Structure 1
Amino acid sequence: MTVLPAASRCPVSAPHRADLIDPGLHQGDGAHAIWRELRRHAPVSWQPVRDTGYWSVVGHAEANQVLRDHDTFTSEQGTLLNLLGKGDPAGGRQMAVTDPPKHTHMRSPLQQALSIKTVDNDREEIRRVVRGLLEPLADGGPFDFAVAMSALPMAGIGTMMALPQEDWPRLVRLTHACVAADDPEFQLAAGPRATLVTAHRELFAYFQDIVTARRRAPGDDLISVLLTMELDGRRLSPGEIVSNCYSLLLGATVTTAQPPSAAMAELAGTAVLDDWAAHPELLTSGVEESLRWASPTQHFMRHTTREVEIRGVRVPAGDAVVVWLGSANRDESVFTDPDTFDIRRKPNRHIAFGVGAHYCIGHTVARVTLRVLFEELLGRFTGFELAGTPRRIRSNIIAGFTHLPVTARLR
Structure 2
Amino acid sequence: MTVAVEAGRCPMHAGPGIDLFEPATFATTDVHAVWRTLRRKAPVSWQTVGDDGFWSVTRYDDVQRVLRDHTTFTSEKGSLLTLLGKGDPAGGRQMAVTDPPRHARQREPLQRALSVKEVERDLPRMRSLIRELLAPMKDGGVFDFAAAMAAVPMAVIGAWMGLPRSDWPELTRLTAACIAPDDPAYVGPGGPEKTLVRAHRELFAYFQDVVEERRAAPGDDLIGVLLGMQVDGAGLTPGEIVSNCYSLLLGANVTTAQPPSAALLELAGTEALADWAAHPDLLVSGVEEALRWSSPAQHFMRYATRDVQIRDVTVRAGDAVVAWLASANRDEDVFSRPDTFDIRRRPNKHIAFGVGPHYCVGHTVARVALRVLFHELLTGFEDIEVVGEPVRLRSNFIAGYTSLPVTARGVRS
- TM-score (normalised: structure 2): 0.96
2:246 maps to what in 1?
A: 246
- AA in 2 matched with 1:141: G
Structure 2 distance, partners of 1:340, 1:297, is 19
**147-156 vs 21-30, which moves further:** 21-30
Unaligned runs of 5+ in 2: none
2:21 maps to what in 1?
A: 21
1:409 and 2:406 matched: no
Structure 1 distance, partners of 2:319, 2:352, is 24
Query: What are the Cα deviations for residues 222-242 of structure 1, in whole angstroms up to 9, with x where unaligned?
Result: 000000001111110111000
What SS class does the counterpart of residue 24 from structure 2 fall into? helix
Q: CA deviation at 1:190?
A: 1.6
Structure 2 distance, partners of 1:16, 1:349, is 32
Q: 1:188 to 1:4 in 2, by over 3 A?
A: closer
Q: 1:359 to 1:16 in 2, by over 3 A?
A: farther
- AA in 1 matched with 2:273: L
Q: CA deviation at 1:16?
A: 6.0
Tell me, yes or no, if the aligned pair for 1:122 and 1:159 is still in contact at 8 Å.
Answer: no
Structure 2 distance, partners of 1:4, 1:261, is 37
Q: Percent of counterpart pairs with the same letter?
A: 66
2:395 maps to what in 1?
A: 395
1:190 and 2:190 matched: yes
The alignment yields a C-alpha RMSD, in angstroms, of: 1.3
Structure 2 distance, partners of 1:409, 1:27, is 30
Q: 1:9 to 1:270 in 2, by over 3 A?
A: same
Q: CA deviation at 1:266?
A: 0.9
Structure 1 distance, partners of 2:200, 2:137, is 33
Query: What are the Cα deviations for residues 192-237 of structure 1, in whole angstroms up to 9, with x where unaligned?
Result: 0111000000100111111112222221100000000011111101
Q: CA deviation at 1:10?
A: 2.9
1:108 maps to what in 2?
A: 108
Tell me, yes or no, if the aligned pair for 1:16 and 1:38 is still in contact at 8 Å.
Answer: no
Instruction: Detail structure 1 runs of 4+ shifted over 4 Å in the superposition.
Output: none
Query: What are the Cα deviations for residues 169-193 of structure 1, in whole angstroms up to 9, with x where unaligned?
Result: 0011000000100001001022101
Tell me, yes or no, if the aligned pair for 1:11 and 1:45 is still in contact at 8 Å.
Answer: no
Structure 2 distance, partners of 1:29, 1:86, is 27
Q: 1:288 to 1:16 in 2, by over 3 A?
A: farther
2:344 maps to what in 1?
A: 344
What SS class does the counterpart of residue 323 from structure 2 fall into? strand
Structure 2 distance, partners of 1:229, 1:11, is 48
What SS class does the counterpart of residue 46 from structure 2 fall into? strand
1:290 maps to what in 2?
A: 290
**121-130 vs 210-219, which moves further:** 210-219
Q: CA deviation at 1:65?
A: 0.5
Tell me, yes or no, if the aligned pair for 1:4 and 1:315 is still in contact at 8 Å.
Answer: no
2:127 maps to what in 1?
A: 127
Say how many residue pairs are matched: 407
Q: CA deviation at 1:30?
A: 2.5
What SS class does the counterpart of residue 67 from structure 1 fall into? helix
1:86 maps to what in 2?
A: 86
What SS class does the counterpart of residue 23 from structure 1 fall into? coil
Tell me, yes or no, if the aligned pair for 2:256 and 2:370 is still in contact at 8 Å.
Answer: yes
Structure 2 distance, partners of 1:396, 1:69, is 23
1:356 maps to what in 2?
A: 356
1:281 maps to what in 2?
A: 281
What SS class does the counterpart of residue 345 from structure 1 fall into? coil
Query: What are the Cα deviations for residues 235-293 of structure 1, in whole angstroms up to 9, with x where unaligned?
Result: 10111000000000001101110000000111111121211111111001000010011
Q: CA deviation at 1:29?
A: 4.4
Tell me, yes or no, if the aligned pair for 2:14 and 2:37 is still in contact at 8 Å.
Answer: no
- AA in 2 matched with 1:270: T
Q: CA deviation at 1:11?
A: 3.2
- AA in 1 matched with 2:175: T
2:147 maps to what in 1?
A: 147
